[in-house]
């Protein structure tokens, strides 16, 4: 089992991190993708990059994200399919924030059947609703490397600056309370059904996302090692 920072081993499959906004998917995906030397594919990060570059996709996604709603499936799917087809994904990857609807999950099944023999593994992060609000309102993200902090539970050494690269730490525009409420509602409505979709097929493993950061990482690494 690799440890954080240990070089490439590959996963040989797609691993899906599933859970509500603020569950810790991005935090864990960054760490674990680095441990295995595989790409971390965050659809939220991809959209934020399109928004900051002002691309046509970014212009369409921006108002939707600001309302806390989901971007239409066709836009998400073509972006993900294109990213997965690149050579760096050949030894597996971690999906963070995708799939988020049943049509996205069905299309992903089809893409993955063509690419891997092993079935995808779904890691499902369990976190209380109250904790989610605290985590999201307290989140700060580095403008250079994307490192994730929290003003309550995971503070940088120097306030407002990233420990890794000194980048400025900022709040995401969709981390305001009224938008968070809509994002949590969208999760319940459109994404939660995927828990059953994957559990029924024996592909899903629950992980306690309420534990301390390091314990969650350790538990996810154990799940991945068991399923290798
Ligand atoms: P996206 O960027 O995917 O946001 P999300 O799913 O709402 O998830 P978050 O990034 O908010 O939470 P996370 O689980 O990654 O938590 P994190 O690790 O940061 O999507 C944004 C928007 O893009 C969507 O609303 C939608 O509009 C659009 N979009 C994206 N994908 C789409 C798709 N597939 N289909 C349609 N639309 C799509 O942690 C949160 C905080 O908690 C941090 O401060 C962290 O330090 C802290 N923390 C983490 N773990 C712990 C711990 N164990 N203990 C204490 N604190 C912790």
**120 in ligand 1 pocket by Cβ < 6 Å?**
no
Alpha carbon 202 to chain centroid distance?
21
Active site residue 135: no
CA distance 33 to 41: 9
The rounded Å distance from CA 189 to ligand 1 centre is: 17
What residues form DSSP beta bridges with 141? 148, 170
Q: Which residues pair with 206 in a beta bridge?
A: 124
pLDDT in tens, the chain (228 residues): 455 444 447 999 999 999 999 999 999 999 999 999 999 999 999 999 999 999 999 999 999 999 999 999 999 999 999 999 999 999 999 999 999 999 999 999 999 998 887 899 999 999 999 999 999 999 999 999 999 999 998 999 999 999 999 999 999 999 999 999 999 999 999 999 999 999 999 999 999 999 999 999 999 999 999 866
Per-residue burial over 108-120, b if 16 or more Cβ lie within 10 Å, else e, is beeebeeebeebb
Angle at alpha carbon of residue 71, lines to 70 and 76, rounded to 5°: 125
Q: Is 164 a catalytic residue?
A: no
**Edge-to-edge strand ranges of the sheet holding 139-142:** 148-150, 139-142, 169-170
**3-state secondary structure at position 14:** strand
47 lines ligand 1 (CB under 6 A): yes
Of the candidates 9, 67, 161, 172, the residue annotated as catalytic is 172
Ligand 1 within 6 A of CB of 25: yes
| Cα–Cα distance, 91 to 187 (Å, whole number) | 29
Q: CA-based Rg of the chain, rounded to a whole angstrom?
A: 17
Query: What pLDDT does residue 114 have?
Result: 87
Domains of the chain by range and CATH?
Answer: 14-227 (3.40.50.300)
Q: Is 75 in the pocket of ligand 1 (CB under 6 A)?
A: no
């Amino acid at each position: 089992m690799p440890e954080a920072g240990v070089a490439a081993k590959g996963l040989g499959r797609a691993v899906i991190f599933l859970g509500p906004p603020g569950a810790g998917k991005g935090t864990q995906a960054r760490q674990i993708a680095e441990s295995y030397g595989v790409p971390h594919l965050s659809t939220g990060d991809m959209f934020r990059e399109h928004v900051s570059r002002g691309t046509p996709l970014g212009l369409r996604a921006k108002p939707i994200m600001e309302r806390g709603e989901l971007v239409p499936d066709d836009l998400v799917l073509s972006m993900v399919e294109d990213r997965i087809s690149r050579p760096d994904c050949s030894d597996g990857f971690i999906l963070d924030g995708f799939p988020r609807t049943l049509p996205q999950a069905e299309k992903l099944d089809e893409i993955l059947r063509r690419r891997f023999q092993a079935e995808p593994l779904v890691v499902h992060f369990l976190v209380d609703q109250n904790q989610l609000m605290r985590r999201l309102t307290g989140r700060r993200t580095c403008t250079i490397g994307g490192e994730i902090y929290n003003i309550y539970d995971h503070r940088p050494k120097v306030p407002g600056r990233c420990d890794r690269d000194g980048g400025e730490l900022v709040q995401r525009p969709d981390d305001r309370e009224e938008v968070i409420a809509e994002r949590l509602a969208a999760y319940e409505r459109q994404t939660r059904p995927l828990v059953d979709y994957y559990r029924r097929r024996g592909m899903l493993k629950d992980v306690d996302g309420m534990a301390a950061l390091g314990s969650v990482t350790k538990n996810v690494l154990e799940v991945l090692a068991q399923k290798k």
